[in-house]
Amino acid sequence: MTQESISDGRSTPEIVSAAIDGGIDAVQLREKDATARARYELGRRLRELTDAADVPLIVNDRIDLAMAIDADGVHLGQTDLPVSVARTLLGDDAIVGCSAWRVDDARAAEREGADYLGTGAVYGTSSKDVDEDKDGIGPEGVAAVTDAVSIPVVGIGGITPANAAAVVDAGATGVAVISSITAAEDPATATQHLGEVVADA
């Protein structure tokens, strides 16, 4: 997940290129503080990078932006347009993810056609403001969601190589991170290390 504000002066394409070199298996265009035009221009550049590497590009929140840059899919929150709308607009081949930390929301997203769920914040997050009751749900919160659905679940929020294994042990298929890669001194090596931890778990 991209967030140029914590990239230590490096551009998002630089970080994404390094993460691709490190073996990342998906990129999510986030950049919540950027204008729609800036996100569009950035998204076009990231589409070139991810296309060349055969890595899926997912757009956070914005179905229209995903369509505009021909992204592989979209990731929606509970206050965004419904999963069913994204599926109708983007088609059956698109990747549609949904954030869900409550079991009821997770089951609803699966029924509406989500391909995967993002759940957390697992260990707490500083990348956005979240309600106290869902900031730090722990591996046990991940397990509750994974036990309730049959689609893949990705843990997010405060995840590092030191604690990622517990998230996978709880049933998550993988993890999504921002600062563990974006703020790393060597994003390629950080990506590779995190991937190894998840694969081993």
Kindly list the catalytic residues: 30, 99, 128
Q: Where are the domains of the chain?
A: 4-200
Task: Please report, rounded to a whole number, the percentage of residues in the chain having pLDDT higher than 90.
Answer: 89
pLDDT above 60 for 128:
no
| pLDDT on residue 4 | 87
Which tens digit of pLDDT belongs to each residue from 165-201?
999 999 999 999 999 999 999 999 999 999 999 999 9
pLDDT band at 124 (very low <50, low <70, confident <90, very high): confident
Between CA 120 and CA 88, with CA 62 as vertex, the angle to 5 degrees is: 100
CA pair distance 128, 115, nearest whole angstrom: 24
Span 87-96, average pLDDT: 97
Q: Are 13 and 46 in contact (CB under 8 A)?
A: yes
**Residue with token string 């046990």:** 140
Non-local CB neighbours of 2 within 8 Å, separated by 6+ positions: 12, 15, 16, 27, 28, 29, 30, 31, 42, 46, 178, 182
The rounded mean pLDDT for the chain is 94
Query: pTM for this structure?
Result: 0.92
| pLDDT on residue 133 | 56
pLDDT above 60 for 10:
yes
- Mention the CATH class of domain 4-200: alpha beta
| pLDDT on residue 132 | 55
Which tens digit of pLDDT belongs to each residue from 60-80?
999 999 999 999 999 999 999
